[in-house]
Amino acid sequence: MKKTVENKKPNTGFKKRFNKYFDELKWLYFEIYKNDENAFDFFCKMLERMYLERAEDLKAWDKKRTKDSGWYKDNKREGMLLYVDNFADTVKGVQEHLDYLDETGVNYLHLMPLLESPEGRSDGGYAVSDFRKVDPKLGTMDDLLALSEECHKKDISICLDFVMNHTSEDHIWAKSAKAGDRTAQERYFFFDDWRVPNEFEKTVPQVFPTTAPGNFTWCPEVGKVVMTTFYPYQWDLNYRNPTVFNDMTENMLFLCNQGVDIVRLDATPYIWKTPGTTCRNLPEVHTLVRMMKIAAEIVCPGTLLLGEVVMEPKEVVPYFGTVEKPECDLLYNVTTMASLWHTVATHDTRLLQHQLYSTFSLPKEYVFLNYLRCHDDIGWGLDYNYLEQFGVEEVNHKKYLNDFFRGYIYGSEARGELYNDDPTLGDARLCGTTASLSGIEAAEYERDEIKKETGIKLDIMLHAFLFSLSGIPVLYSGDEIGQLNDYTYHEDPLRREDSRYLHRGKFSWEDAKKKTNKKTREGRIYSAIRDLREMRKKHKAFFAEADTWLIPTGNDCVVAFGRYFENEKVICMFNFSNMQQRIYTAEQEEYKDLFTNEKIKADCVDLQPYEYRWIALKYKN
């Protein structure tokens, strides 16, 4: 891949895009940075410079993507999320295993944080000490560029985290601030005493109240207090300073110029701070994200922005922006994920249906990443106002869910652990792999084949639900072979305090060899996901643009919904009960089961425990 560009001046495409967005960009910039012409002039020149530094083959990739602006909305996208060191030790190792990823159907590859961060003070790579350097243990920027080139040959897009809210205290800016550089200190939030920080604490929630209480830390090197929303070694950046925005946008574009196709904007809602508020989801955040979107559109128009917004539904959707003025191209469908696991624990689909109704009502231009598990915990951010009508009380219900998924409830075979338990608020999150939370781990430990069969059926049904939704299904590395919890983290002094490492174990290449043996747990799950993927690809009803609607079934244990696109209707049905269930619908037509080719009437259907069905009907023009 070429690292230099042949043209010394921006081409007409760049100029056309720059002129298209100039007025809006200037208006937004001047509004938030008080008509700072020098800062805006620097920003515009930076955009031109970053475009000139972009390799010719990446510009060709941009051209390919912009010709089909809806490329990520079809039914052929499938993602995988992985840690480089857990999956293949190094970036080069990932490249060596691209055939496995390609065979697994992956064309959206999310590499978890791999930039340089201090050992033991990295928060899993989210405390970045250098935005332009890969962690030496994982490789180099040249390795990332080479991986990108090989991925593009296979039509695989690379997603990388961009930690925008803070830097490590080991970042050059923070080191300069510690040395007394006032200009560097202005990149962060420094206070001479605790008076202002104490005022902030009155309204700003704590992210990690047990492992990292408070939002500020004393910095002994300068005798001042610094804002640290997440951990003491992660210093919040001051986006009120235009220099911070300019330089961080340049860092983002630098990563795009290394072949990164999707930029995951980490901790997006936190980046603007105002006293007397929660410092979450403030209007200025949307202005900053919109400007970053415009910057990407001008410099690298094939790039997508993914917003990491793990909030309640009403706070998530605004990060799409509007259809005319988009902010993020993609967002996580976090509430559906949490509602899904709630449904597993309760066998009651009413909350899940309520959540699906909300997402089905959104404009089809809005694309979610859908997932069962990720690198993080499961937070029970459910719609408790809705659940209240059924007599559900928030604190007690969270306790029930956490007890269920730790196997503390009679009849539960799930195995997980709590994360960041807060006894004062009666709140805690949950960790565990999909397979272990589905009961497979417990069944294998007990050598109970009947329980194992049930756990595998549940695991596969959950993946079927995942592949039924509009958007991009994303697997967490290892889930495709039913990888179990890894308890060895308890023995690691650098990790044992963070239970999220329970589901961040090393990928088992030995287990992956069993993926073709359908008599094994690995083979059954892998082949089932393969069949779901291939069936999804065959039917345009799974396009993001498809019409979607809920189908009443008369049974709270079952959820069913329809999809329609270009004369094809598909109905997806899921039994979340461990008992057989019968459903009745108003569907009078005759359908065909997509997997068995069986003809079926949808007005009365019996579903076995944890059974799913995709049935289809093709209308004549």
pLDDT digits over 171-199, tens only? 999 999 999 999 999 999 999 999 999 99
Choose the final residue of a domain: 214, 236, 258. Answer: 236
On whether residue 534 sits in a domain, the answer given is yes
Pick from 608, 538, 536: which is nearest to 573 by CA?
Answer: 608
On whether residue 124 sits in a domain, the answer given is no
On whether residue 287 sits in a domain, the answer given is no
Is 480 noted as a catalytic residue in this protein?
no
Residue 294 corresponds to which tokens in the numbers above? Answer: 């415009």
Q: What mean pLDDT do residues 62-70 have?
A: 91
Pick from 127, 277, 130, 285: which is nearest to 212 by CA?
Answer: 127
Is 266 noted as a catalytic residue in this protein?
yes
My answer on whether 434 and 558 are in the same domain is no
Cα angle for residues 370, 375, 381 (degrees, 5° grid): 60
Q: What is the DSSP letter of 378?
A: B
Pick from 199, 124, 206, 123: which is nearest to 422 by CA?
Answer: 206
CATH number at residue 208: 3.90.400.10
pLDDT at position 617 is: 95
My answer on whether 495 and 418 are in the same domain is yes
User: Given pLDDT bands bounded at 50, 70 and 90, which one contains residue 394?
Assistant: very high
Residue 4 pLDDT > 80, yes or no?
no
Pick from 574, 604, 570, 602: which is nearest to 589 by CA?
Answer: 602
CA–chain centroid gap for 197, Å, is 31
- What is the total count of domains within the chain? 3
On whether residue 436 sits in a domain, the answer given is yes
pLDDT at position 547 is: 97
Residue 417 corresponds to which tokens in the numbers above? Answer: 């652990």
Residues in the chain: 621
415 CB neighbour count, 10 Å cutoff: 24
User: Given pLDDT bands bounded at 50, 70 and 90, which one contains residue 120?
Assistant: confident
My answer on whether 460 and 501 are in the same domain is yes
- Which positions ≥6 away from 32 have C-beta within 8 Å? 284, 287, 288
Choose the final residue of a domain: 538, 553, 572. Answer: 538
My answer on whether 565 and 531 are in the same domain is no
Residue 373 corresponds to which tokens in the numbers above? Answer: 């598990």
My answer on whether 462 and 500 are in the same domain is yes
Residue 289 corresponds to which tokens in the numbers above? Answer: 């994200």
- Which positions ≥6 away from 84 have C-beta within 8 Å? 90, 91, 93, 94, 111, 112, 114, 138, 139
What are the two backbone dihedrals, phi and then psi, of residue 326, each rounded to the nearest 5 degrees? Answer: -70, 150
pLDDT at position 6 is: 46
My answer on whether 533 and 549 are in the same domain is no
Lowest mean pLDDT among 92-96, 431-435, 495-499: 495-499
pLDDT at position 7 is: 53
Choose the final residue of a domain: 487, 516, 538. Answer: 538
Lowest mean pLDDT among 357-366, 436-445, 558-567: 357-366
Pick from 136, 127, 78: which is nearest to 107 by CA?
Answer: 78
Q: Under a CB-based contact definition with an 8 Å cutoff, are residues 570 and 551 in contact?
A: no
Pick from 437, 425, 339: which is nearest to 379 by CA?
Answer: 339
Residue 1 pLDDT > 50, yes or no?
no
Q: What mean pLDDT do residues 283-305 have?
A: 97
Work out whether strand 612-618 and strand 568-575 pair parallel, antiparallel, or are unpaired.
Answer: antiparallel
266, 327, 486, 611: the catalytic one is: 266
pLDDT at position 570 is: 97
- Which positions ≥6 away from 39 have C-beta within 8 Å? 29, 33, 242, 243, 246
pLDDT at position 250 is: 98
Q: Is 590 helix (H, G, I), strand (E, B) or coil?
A: strand
Q: What mean pLDDT do residues 115-126 have?
A: 91
Work out whether strand 157-163 and strand 166-168 pair parallel, antiparallel, or are unpaired.
Answer: unpaired
On whether residue 610 sits in a domain, the answer given is yes
pLDDT at position 251 is: 98
CATH number at residue 426: 3.20.20.80
CATH number at residue 546: 2.60.40.1180
308, 427, 459, 479: the catalytic one is: 308
On whether residue 533 sits in a domain, the answer given is yes
My answer on whether 510 and 596 are in the same domain is no
- Residue 575 burial by Cβ neighbours in a 10 Å radius (0-12, 13-18, 19+): buried
My answer on whether 340 and 465 are in the same domain is yes
pLDDT at position 3 is: 44
My answer on whether 357 and 504 are in the same domain is yes
Which residue range is the domain that position 533 belongs to?
333-366+376-471+479-538
- Average per-residue pLDDT in the chain? 95
- Which positions ≥6 away from 67 have C-beta within 8 Å? none
Q: Which residues pair with 430 in a beta bridge?
A: 378, 418
Q: At what angle do helices 141-153 and 56-67 cross, to 10 degrees?
A: 40
Residue 194 corresponds to which tokens in the numbers above? Answer: 């605790």
Residue reference for tokens 């997997």:
595
Q: Under a CB-based contact definition with an 8 Å cutoff, are residues 437 and 37 in contact?
A: no
My answer on whether 522 and 561 are in the same domain is no
**Strand locations in 385-514, DSSP E?**
417-422, 427-431, 472-476
pLDDT at position 310 is: 80
Residue 500 corresponds to which tokens in the numbers above? Answer: 């999220």
pLDDT at position 69 is: 86
Q: Under a CB-based contact definition with an 8 Å cutoff, are residues 362 and 414 in contact?
A: no
Q: Is 391 helix (H, G, I), strand (E, B) or coil?
A: coil
pLDDT at position 313 is: 67
Terminal Cα distance for the chain, rounded: 48
- Reported as a single tens digit per residue, the pLDDT across 569-608 is 999 999 999 999 999 999 989 999 999 999 999 999 999 9
My answer on whether 530 and 548 are in the same domain is no
On whether residue 398 sits in a domain, the answer given is yes
On whether residue 199 sits in a domain, the answer given is yes
My answer on whether 509 and 392 are in the same domain is yes
pLDDT at position 611 is: 98
pLDDT at position 124 is: 86
Residue 462 pLDDT > 50, yes or no?
yes
